[in-house]
């Protein structure tokens, strides 16, 4: 006969095994249920609301920065070079008379200048990265200038960065800079077909190139912002063709480290009805919960056909993260 003591041990063992099976079943069910829920109920679309009217009626490639005195200043490109405008509310802008940077007759690679990106540096000044090209606009490199007040700019010698793309062209344009928690700054830029990045430890004079993963091609015009939770968000332009700008619209992706990206579903901003396309997003923090995106819109004409001069304006959209 089996002793009572032995039966108690067997009962305890059966109960223990039963409880273990229940716990494991619960955990597996929870895990796979959560995975299924994530597939069935993905994160909600990020919906940007367009703001009425133009911010700038003639211009392209906005870069907006809030100065220490609370003034908003926008740098952008027009036919004569890089100019700026000021605003108190981020919606109504007044162009400043002085041209920030025009063509440099002493440099064959700065016959045309465009795509400004301005950021504060540790000595209290501001540095501007910008694109410069030869007369035929076949090659684009990144150069820089510095300013005490954000209005009067002095070019710095040398080339900040150059990139040879998959088509064999030297193409580095549309720079965007983000400050990292370790004091370094990361540069995102376009080679005309894909988005690249580089790191600087000296405030933007010397750059070490990195690899970026997960951003589909063709992609261009990066604008990166680090959210309060530490997640990186990139807003950028995609095209239906890698050989010409076609059906340009603005999309987004997210990343934990700023290098490995996962595309968000949906489109963030597309052209208004009757307009051709949108491009050049620049996203800034308006408050703790609101972001504003400035972007260029091609209202009519063509970016590639000289017989149809492009008509471009700068517009905006806003999102409340609450």
The answer as to CATH 2.40.128.720 being correct for domain 49-320 is no
Using the structure block, give the residue that is written with the tokens 């939770």.
229
Domain ranges of the chain: 1-41, 49-320
Count Cβ atoms below 10 Å from residue 258 Cβ, excluding itself: 19
The four Cα atoms 91, 51, 216, 206 give a dihedral, to 10 degrees, of 0
Rounded CA-CA distance 172/121 in Å is: 22
Q: Which residues are CB-neighbours of 58 under 8 A, at least 6 positions away? A: 78, 311, 312, 313
Rounded CA-CA distance 41/10 in Å is: 45
pLDDT (tens digit, 0 to 9) for every residue of the chain, 322 residues total?
Answer: 445 554 455 454 444 444 443 444 333 343 333 333 333 334 567 999 999 999 999 999 999 999 988 899 999 999 999 999 999 999 999 999 999 999 998 999 999 999 999 999 999 999 999 999 999 888 999 999 999 999 999 999 999 999 999 888 999 999 999 999 999 999 999 999 999 999 999 999 999 999 999 998 899 999 999 998 899 999 999 998 877 788 899 999 999 999 999 999 999 999 999 999 999 999 999 998 899 999 999 999 998 888 999 999 999 999 998 8
pLDDT at 15: 40
φ, ψ of residue 229 to 5 degrees: the values are -85, 5
């Amino acid at each position: 006969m089996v002793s009572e003591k032995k039966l108690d041990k067997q009962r305890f063992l059966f109960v223990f095994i039963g409880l273990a099976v229940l716990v494991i079943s619960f955990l597996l069910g929870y895990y796979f249920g959560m995975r299924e829920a994530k597939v069935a109920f993905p994160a909600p679309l990020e919906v940007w609301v367009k703001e009425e009217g133009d911010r700038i009626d003639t211009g392209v490639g906005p870069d907006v920065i809030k100065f220490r005195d609370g003034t908003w200043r926008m740098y952008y490109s027009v036919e004569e070079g890089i100019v700026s405008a000021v605003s108190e509310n981020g919606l109504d802008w007044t162009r400043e008379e002085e041209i920030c940077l025009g063509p440099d007759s002493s440099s064959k690679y700065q016959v045309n200048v465009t795509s400004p990106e301005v950021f504060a540096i540790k000595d209290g000044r501001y540095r501007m990265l910008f694109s410069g090209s030869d007369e035929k606009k076949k090659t684009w490199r990144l150069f820089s200038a510095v300013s005490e007040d954000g209005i009067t700019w002095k070019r710095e010698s040398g080339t900040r960065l150059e990139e040879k793309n998959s088509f064999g062209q030297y193409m580095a344009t549309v720079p965007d800079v983000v400050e990292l928690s370790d004091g370094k700054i990361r540069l995102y830029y376009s080679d005309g077909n894909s988005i690249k990045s580089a790191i600087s430890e000296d405030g933007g004079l010397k750059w070490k190139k990195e690899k970026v993963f997960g951003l589909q091609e063709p992609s261009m015009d990066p604008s990166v912002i680090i959210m309060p939770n530490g997640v990186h968000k990139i807003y950028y332009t995609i095209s239906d063709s890698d050989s010409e700008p076609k059906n340009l619209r603005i999309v987004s992706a997210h990343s934990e480290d700023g290098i490995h990206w996962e595309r968000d579903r949906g489109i963030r901003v597309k052209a208004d009805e009757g307009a051709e396309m949108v491009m050049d997003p620049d996203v800034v923090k308006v408050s703790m919960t609101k972001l504003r995106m400035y972007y260029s819109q091609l209202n009519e004409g063509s970016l590639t056909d000289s017989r149809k001069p492009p008509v471009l304006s700068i517009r905006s959209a806003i999102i409340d993260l609450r």
